[in-house]
Amino acid sequence: MTILSRCIVIMSGVLLFSSQFPIFSTTTTATQKTHRFACHVIPRQSLNQTTPPDQQSPNPKTILSTITNLLWGQSLPPGLLISTVRTTWNSTWQLMMSQLAPSDSSGRYTRPASKFRLNPPFTLQNSTTLHLYVGLPCPWAHRTLIVRALKGLEDAVPVSIAGPGQDGSWEFKDIPISNRDRNILVPGRDNANGCRNLKGVYGLRRSGGYSGRATVPMLWDVEKKEVGCNESYDIIEFFNSGLNGLARNPGLDLSPKELKGKIGEWNGLIYPNVNNGVYRCGFAQSQDAYDSAVNGLFTTLEAVEDHLTTSRYLCGDTLTLADVCLFTTLIRFDIVYNVLFKCTKKKLIEYPNLHGYMRDIYQMPKVAETCNFSAIMDGYYKVLFPLNPGSICPVMPSGCEHDVLLSTPHNRESLSLANKTTKQDH
């Protein structure tokens, strides 16, 4: 056998194994269509799956040497070993990425353009019928937790928190939540349906099961036994204005009529370039695709940084849904996207206005409680297998310790105060 054909033998072996994983069973088009504002877990796959079941804790080195022994006999020249591994790994990576992150012919990650539906087509009557499913690492789910907290909807909309599981699904843990912990956001049981994983919940739909991927956030209609909504933006709009009869803070309006235009403009810029932009960097499958994603991301961050010199929030003095959407990406930026998704041109901490703005929002009552950095780090570094096969969490540079940094004063009140004073003077 030539070296090439030997490599091909190994590769086909790897591809064969890959096809067993659940993630590969969905088609690319389905993936593209259904993942606008939702998180799915990408399974962590380990090389030990290639070993016989009786081997308890297999070592990748053993597997590799078994394969190479098989093909070449006892000793494989180091140069050949390296090139074989490189080719095998590259092909596996290409395959996984093409399945996990649908891309166009030039390797650009393609999530369909966002649709910000201002009048969600769903109707949900009242509290007794609602239940929210989230996962803590997911930025789209995080939006719903923030708006739920700010509006005081904790009692009206109970939540169940899933964690990323080994087999590629959102799983619940069999940990009962005591009354004391009710408002602490930790992964636990499915409090509405008692399912073991989120797929099970989707499967309970009265209108007839579900075979696609089970994503968070998901608002469940208990009464109808139906997915009420699984588009994060629709959920936060609904939380903002659709449940005021039950909210403890009904006066807060994160999407006032007079700002809807501005909010839409910001969303239209921030969604493709920042929220989804970081994913386009991380899942790019060609240098060109990566270059253009990174360029769009940082050009937009620079523009927002400029804007925030004079404006406390995106749309002026008041926090809006556009800020909530930007915030959940910013809070993950230095600890995850900068490293794992190669959003490396700058760290967020190098943008004084953006960083101050992030701290401003973080320090609002009840927002910090929705941010769990160890859950975020674990979620991204341990689950996104093709991007971080060793599952090793990196150390952050000193000065970037998130919780310490985030509690430093932001001094951004002065921006709104300055304008108020000016207005009064007139």
Ligand X SMILES: *[C@@H]1O[C@H](CO)[C@@H](O)[C@H](O)[C@H]1NC(C)=O
Q: Give dist(CA 173, CA 171) in Å, integer.
A: 7
Query: Applying CB under 6 A, which part among 104-112, 223-231, 276-284, 349-357 lies near ligand X?
Result: 223-231
Shortest distance in whole angstroms from residue 253 CB to ligand X: 17
Of the candidates 422, 420, 406, 237, the one whose C-alpha atom is nearest the C-alpha of residue 317 is 420
DSSP β-bridge partners for residue 135: 162
Of the candidates 198, 225, 192, the one whose C-alpha atom is nearest the C-alpha of residue 138 is 198
Of the candidates 229, 225, 259, 261, the one whose C-alpha atom is nearest the C-alpha of residue 243 is 229
Under rule CB under 6 A, residue 90 binds ligand X = yes
* 357 catalytic per annotation: no
> Who contacts 24 (Cβ-Cβ below 8 Å, separation ≥6)?
18, 99
Considering CB under 6 A, how many residues would be counted as binding ligand X?
37
Q: Give dist(CA 322, CA 107) in Å, integer.
A: 29
Q: Of these, 311, 329, 353, 370, which contacts ligand X (CB under 6 A)?
A: 311
Under rule CB under 6 A, residue 162 binds ligand X = no
CB 294 within 8 A of CB 396: no
Nearer to ligand X, 70 or 418 (CB): 418
Write the interaction track for ligand X spanning residues 266-295; mark x where CB under 6 A is met and - where it is not: ------------------------------
Of the candidates 241, 248, 262, the one whose C-alpha atom is nearest the C-alpha of residue 317 is 262
CB 179 within 8 A of CB 172: no
Q: Which of 202, 279, 351, 362 is catalytic?
A: 279
Under rule CB under 6 A, residue 416 binds ligand X = yes
* 202 catalytic per annotation: no
Nearer to ligand X, 240 or 372 (CB): 372
Q: Which of 138, 229, 315, 371 is catalytic?
A: 138
Nearer to ligand X, 70 or 225 (CB): 225
Residues taking part in catalysis: 138, 279
Positions touching ligand X (CB under 6 A) are 34-36, 38, 46, 48-49, 90, 94, 125-126, 128-129, 136, 163, 184-187, 210, 212, 215, 223, 227, 230, 310-312, 316-317, 372, 374-375, 378, 415-416, 419
